[in-house]
């Protein structure tokens, strides 16, 4: 797969979904589009995971100062799935 941006990958994935939902393609073409969509979805998931790992939040310490803290989506909050 060519190096593309996350945003372009999402756009293409949305196009593929619309094309598949239209039902206008023969089975073989639909399967190729589906496989392309899976690869794009995996790529996007990887990029989101990489971004999540890089995110840092500012945490207020007891002394009133702020420090950087790695993002933890489960840190004291219920995570919706």
78: pLDDT strictly greater than 90: no
pTM of this structure: 0.65
75 versus 31: which is more confidently predicted? 31
Rounded alpha-carbon distances, angstroms, from residue 7 to 15, 27, 34, 56: 13, 28, 19, 22
* pLDDT confidence bin for 62, thresholds 50/70/90: confident
pLDDT in tens, 18-59: 999 999 999 999 999 999 999 999 999 999 988 877 776 666
Measured between alpha carbons, how far is 50 from 60 in angstroms, rounded to an integer? Answer: 25
Domain boundaries, the chain: 6-55
């Amino acid at each position: 797969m060519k190096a593309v941006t996350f945003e372009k990958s999402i756009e293409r994935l949305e196009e593929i979904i619309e094309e598949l939902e239209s039902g206008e393609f023969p089975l073989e073409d639909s399967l190729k589009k589906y496989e392309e969509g899976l690869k794009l979805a995996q790529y996007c998931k990887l990029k989101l995971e990489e971004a999540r790992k890089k995110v840092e939040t500012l945490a207020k310490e007891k002394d009133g100062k702020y420090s950087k803290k790695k993002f933890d989506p489960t840190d004291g909050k219920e995570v919706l799935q």
